Structure 1
């Protein structure tokens, strides 16, 4: 049986109504009681994840900002952190403004910055657990890029995102940088350091808890989940995953509306059929 499960949050651990179901919580509690490690992994930061972590209410490690920050548990001990290079953050910001998308940036000390307030950023604020008056407006405070940035995001309509992904991948391929990009949700494209990903989160948490690679599972649905799905001993994609994520997986789980994470825990960690 596997001993560590790294799970994405949105589109994976929680359902399309943004609920953590009783079925999923029960499976998590049983695995935890058995001594297994459950590692929530998200593009979100610690503040936006607080509702989920409070609801689970266990001493779990946590991978935030797509793996740019990995925390051992409630102690707050940092196992890994990796900021995006300043020039890459500025490049992602400038190109996002040119493409007329919502541009968002997070710092390691949980400062949230927007290029402007618009319909995209209003939607993002509703998820971010940050008050509007605490948001920094980037054109008025370009010094934000002197701080350690975890990631820069582009937010747009879902139907435009494939075009943005293709453009951004080509952009990064043609400049000398250390950045990568991937969608975390269908309407969000995230730019991070290439060494800030969920695979790194699995490596550092497995190390900290003395778990061998062969005992690890990575499960998700988005493009930003592919590194951990490819790295884990068992890479699992949700049935509702992006097509590239499905192609990367060893195993396809039921969707997030069918308690897919609970199914995987029960089958591969608890030995229930």
Structure 2
């Protein structure tokens, strides 16, 4: 087969709006895996939020979580992890307080937001990602401007209303490259599928970059192919028409 790795974003891509994998999509993923294609979940979610879906699909292949900050050799074996400087987490937390904006953060120890944040967490935990959510475009723009001035950050999003921040140089694309090294395949043999800016680098770097029908416009513009939406089995169509037909 021309394509040997299928890298799948989860929210807005693999999962329907009801947070489920449709029966049709699961059928085609299993068919691809049975044919020898490596199926890799590539998500901004933390490990505990992602691994149940990998288990549902019986995947034994590598998995990328937290936008590339964690790479799993298999769904239950950590390969590498990239942590934030705690001073940067402190700065981003202070921006959230200043802007009175909802925030969340992923650490090795768990996920946190303003409902369960306590001052002692900053030094105690090992941090991998920070995020903001606001539907106020002006406030979000101001936060983005502040973040860009800090440096040392990889800034993307997983929806038009949020910002997701990883350590500089960490992305799903770097994660997929590492997975390729583990599997002994080339980026040209990868199909990367997603819907948001945190998928963009992977979509541009892959042999076949696929945007979901519900993807942000920027992602659609950069993709090689635009498929159906996450609620219309867009992944199943790509597997059928591009992996098995090898268009």
TM-score relative to the length of structure 1: 0.83
| 3-state secondary structure, aligned to 1:90 | helix
- Residue 112 of structure 1 corresponds to 111
For these two proteins, the number of residue pairs brought into alignment is: 246
Q: Would the aligned equivalents of 1:168 and 1:181 in 2 still touch at CA under 8 Å?
A: no
Contact 2:89 2:122 in 1 (8 A): no
Give yes or no for the alignment of 1:44 onto 2:45. yes
Change (3 A) 1:263 1:145: farther
Q: Write out aligned runs for 1:9-158 (5 A).
A: 9-78=10-79, 80-108=80-108, 110-115=109-114, 117=115, 136-138=116-118, 140-141=119-120, 143-145=121-123, 147-156=125-134
Deviations 1:140-192 (A, max 9, x none): 32x52453211111133xx32x44543233223323x2112221234442111
| CA RMSD across the alignment | 1.9
Large movers: runs of 4+ above 3 Å: 162-165, 185-188
Query: 2:232 and 2:21 mapped to 1: Cα distance?
Result: 12
Corresponding residue SS for 1:229: helix
Q: For 1:167, what is the secondary structure of its paired residue?
A: helix
Which 5+ residue runs of structure 1 have no aligned equivalent? 118-135
Whole-Å Cα distance in 2 between the matches of residues 67 and 258 of structure 1? 27
Q: Equivalent residue of 1:236, what SS?
A: strand
Q: Which runs of 5 or more structure 2 residues have no equivalent in the other structure?
A: none
